[in-house]
Structure 1
């Protein structure tokens, strides 16, 4: 579930799946992202990825095993997609060549999905390998396929294995990545910044921009929802 950019490596995941006969015997693959029709995109990079995706589907004859869903803008529907895959005891794979943070990783984990995510970037910090998910190296697709095969084969032998990784992911998110925890850290950062500015009398441009972004994206709308005080004397 991502943009159809080269760095997101969606076609890399499809190729990895197509080449692995063992993985194809165990599970189907669902990809969510981009346009399916090349005539609907004007981005050269996305056009190349769309064409590559169609070529891979033909090359590996994945009819009946692979479903490509166009990018979804409805957040509720996205949440239902995560839940549907979780209800069928599936897994989520984030195969990006590099990912700064990994919002879809957090979304998948909080939906209870065992998550396999790139070891390059933010997801490497979010996931504890083998406990709350798994790290995969997109530059070694054979190893990624083997890790997925091992997981699903173990789940077949012991269904509790799926639940253990699912529970580990949920625990990790609730311990580290809730809005409550984030806001507390932000308040701590604000306090440190205020003290630092007081003693140094210098501007910290990056932190100020960050706080402004957080206010615009999160708190500005919340402020509007607070009812105004009413003077009871009138």
Structure 2
């Protein structure tokens, strides 16, 4: 990559961002890149879900991500971002170059893909949508458990184990009100 940067005189045109663990800083990085009309590229060989893709799109970044796994479902190719095949680097490079050449000729192209990404996120990947789906699945599961003849003792043991391992410590950490 460094050789390509030198060959095509791309120094200062893009940034490598290593894995970031600070969620607040991640959001700030995405915003800085979006404010400078940059793009987010995630060339993973396979991505199970694609949280970084959702985060980048939520910040309005045109996003280029692997066509394998979750990003293939998250991105509508050419409308809310672009699919790239990590096994075909030259083809991926052409997609990126084509996008930025279009943006150079017509700056509204960047905004079009940015808005398409935001629209996709608001249609499919908000916390409200997630919680509604989870509640629906919970209701279906609850009804299924009610009408089935499964051993409820096993479920009770699972819930007690979950409480003991996770929620008990959380409950103990809540400070008591001082009168």
- TM-score interval, smaller chain: 0.7 to 0.9
The offset of 1:25, in angstroms, is: 4.7
Distance change (3 Å), C-alpha of 1:130 and 1:83: same
What is the distance in 1 between the residues matched to 2:12 and 2:150? 57
CA RMSD across the alignment? 3.2
Q: For residue 13 of structure 2, what is the aligned residue in structure 1?
A: 28
What is the distance in 1 between the residues matched to 2:11 and 2:17? 20
CA contact (8 A) 2:43 2:84 kept: yes
Q: For residue 86 of structure 1, what is the aligned residue in structure 2?
A: 34
CA contact (8 A) 1:120 1:137 kept: yes
Q: For residue 129 of structure 1, what is the aligned residue in structure 2?
A: 77
The offset of 1:26, in angstroms, is: 9.7
Could you give the per-residue CA deviations for residues 139-180 of structure 1, whole angstroms, max 9, x where no partner exists?
000000000000000000000000000000011111111111
Give the alignment's TM-score, normalised by structure 1. Answer: 0.62
Q: How many residues align?
A: 165
2:150 is aligned, of 190, 196, 202, to 202
Question: Structure 2 matches for 1:113-128, cutoff 5 A?
Answer: 113-128=61-76
Match of 1:32, SS?
coil
Q: For residue 86 of structure 2, what is the aligned residue in structure 1?
A: 138
- Report whether the alignment pairs 1:18 with 2:26: no
Could you give the per-residue CA deviations for residues 36-59 of structure 1, whole angstroms, max 9, x where no partner exists?
xxxxxxxxxxxxxxxxxxxxxxxx
What is the distance in 1 between the residues matched to 2:102 and 2:13? 17
The offset of 1:200, in angstroms, is: 2.3
CA contact (8 A) 1:97 1:120 kept: yes
CA contact (8 A) 1:112 1:169 kept: yes
CA contact (8 A) 1:138 1:144 kept: yes
Q: For residue 176 of structure 1, what is the aligned residue in structure 2?
A: 124
Distance change (3 Å), C-alpha of 1:168 and 1:142: same
CA contact (8 A) 2:5 2:11 kept: no
The offset of 1:27, in angstroms, is: 7.2
What is the distance in 2 between the residues matched to 1:165 and 1:29? 19
CA contact (8 A) 2:79 2:116 kept: yes
Q: Which runs of 5+ in 1 are unaligned?
A: 1-13, 34-70, 229-234
Could you give the per-residue CA deviations for residues 108-131 of structure 1, whole angstroms, max 9, x where no partner exists?
001110000000000100000000
The offset of 1:198, in angstroms, is: 1.9
Q: Which moved more, 1:137-146 or 1:189-198?
A: 189-198
- Report whether the alignment pairs 1:107 with 2:55: yes
